[in-house]
Amino acid sequence: MKILAFESSCDETAAAVVEDGRTVLSSVIASSLEEQRLYGGVVPEIASRRHAEYISDVTEQALAQAGVTVADIDAVAVTAAPGLIGALLVGVNYAKSLAYAAGKPLVPVHHLRGHIAANYLAHTELKPPFLCLIVSGGHSHIVAVEDYTHFRVIGRTRDDAAGECFDKAARAMGMPYPGGVALDKLAETGDPTAYKFPRPHVDGSEYDFSFSGLKTAVINLLHHAEQTGEALNHADVCASFRDRVVEMLCTNTMKAADAFGYDTVVLAGGVSANAELRRRMTALCEASGRQLYMPPLSLCGDNAAMIGAQGYYEFMAGNVADTSLNAAPTMPIDKVDW
Ligand code: KG4
Ligand code: ZN
């Protein structure tokens, strides 16, 4: 079964053709990131406008690269939540019109479910159940993936997402948006023991995260140094900060894997590209005899292939929509409601 999939929840306009949820026939991404950098973050209005401009071209390229036409497609999948509402609406309306005109089923996909499904494309043997740490620019969740379309949230961030926290710390050090990647790279050359950052504790849930205290601590350190003229070693700041964020992510994930008896752990989302997170989780899973799956770097960030992968399983579960489908800026991963 061939699915034509769309992703437009943030600043990537993406289309892909995916076969049977596992094989990428094509994956095309256009991004407004360079333009967004001028503003230090994603301006929703700009993202929506660029989606409107790029989406037809991206679709034509995805079909051509897969060597198919719309007639060969069996269903149309699209990210319908969560994300920037104006950005989502461009993808949803485009997918809806295309599905209607071509007489194909329309499959709405939850963006975070898509991030998890990126792993199905790279690891054909991977099947639920497993425990997943989803870390992106807007979300940080520990989720029990009970089957392809049933999820249970075990832990979540109480404030900032991990990616947001990386981006804000990076911005305070003058790195361009999104700074997570640059911070990770500079951290590779720094000493993670040079600066002591707090270990935020969350009352009431041992699996929830809190990153805002850590973010404030790094910003205070940088501002204080600026005011007093003290020279900080940014590589050491990055390494120490990254170490704390990764430690929190890994500790809670492994605690949840122990408590809920999961021997397969999966990483997903943009932050799963983080070098230290990948190293640390590899070591922890090896030491505890667990199988770890991570998306290849090319599938960590936003793309439409992952939406095509999840779209296949949603279609198989009967989760299709009609032309009244709307987009939603927020929606829990475990309770999708189209
Ligand atoms: O999943 P994603 O592409 O978009 C959302 O759905 O939010 O995640 C983007 C986030 C950004 O915050 C970006 O800085 C972060 O992922 N990110 C990283 C790395 N690569 C991307 N954070 C830390 N280390 C990285 N290597
Ligand atoms: Zn994403």
- Over pLDDT 70: what percentage of the chain? 100
| The pLDDT of residue 267 is above 90 | yes
| The pLDDT of residue 205 is above 90 | no
Do 141 and 207 have their domain in common?
yes
Q: What is the pLDDT of residue 203?
A: 86
Q: What is the pLDDT of residue 1?
A: 98
User: What are the respective helix, strand and coil percentages of the chain, to the nearest 5?
Assistant: 45, 20, 35
> Which pair of tokens denotes residue 319?
């989760």
Mean pLDDT of 249-255: 98
* pLDDT confidence tier of residue 60, bands split at 50, 70 and 90: very high
**CATH code for the domain in which residue 147 is found:** 3.30.420.40
Do 32 and 140 have their domain in common?
no
Ligand 1 mutation target, pool 109, 110, 134, 181, most atoms within 8 A of CB = 181
Atom of ligand 1 nearest to the CA of 161: 12
* pLDDT confidence tier of residue 201, bands split at 50, 70 and 90: confident
| The pLDDT of residue 240 is above 90 | yes
> Which pair of tokens denotes residue 75?
């269903």
Do 195 and 312 have their domain in common?
no
| 0.95 surpassed by pTM | yes
In a domain, 326, yes or no: no
- Please tell me if the CB atom of residue 11 comes closer than 6 angstroms to any atom of ligand 1: no
Atom of ligand 1 nearest to the CA of 301: 3
Q: Which residues contact 334 (CB under 8 A, 6 or more apart)?
A: 143, 150, 151, 152, 153
Q: What is the pLDDT of residue 300?
A: 98
The domain tally of the chain equals: 2
Do 33 and 87 have their domain in common?
yes
* pLDDT confidence tier of residue 18, bands split at 50, 70 and 90: very high
Q: What is the pLDDT of residue 4?
A: 99
In a domain, 122, yes or no: no
Do you know the residue count of the chain? 338
CA of 166 to the centre of ligand 1 (A): 8
- Please tell me if the CB atom of residue 269 comes closer than 6 angstroms to any atom of ligand 1: yes
Do 80 and 139 have their domain in common?
no
Mean pLDDT of 106-135: 98
pLDDT tens digits for range 305-325: 999 999 999 999 999 999 999
Beta bridge partners of 155: 142
Which ligand is in closest contact with the Cα of 166? 1
Do 240 and 166 have their domain in common?
yes
pLDDT tens digits for range 66-89: 999 999 999 999 999 999 999 999
Q: Is the dihedral of CA 96, 44, 269, 60 positive or negative?
A: positive
| The pLDDT of residue 200 is above 90 | no
* pLDDT confidence tier of residue 238, bands split at 50, 70 and 90: very high
Beta bridge partners of 150: 147
Q: What is the pLDDT of residue 131?
A: 99
* pLDDT confidence tier of residue 255, bands split at 50, 70 and 90: very high
Domain encompassing residue 146: 128-295
In a domain, 322, yes or no: no
Alpha-helical (H) ranges within 103-232 are 111-122, 162-172, 180-187, 212-228
Beta bridge partners of 79: 109
Do 72 and 158 have their domain in common?
no
Report, in angstroms and rounded to the nearest whole number, the Rg of the chain calculated over CA atoms: 20
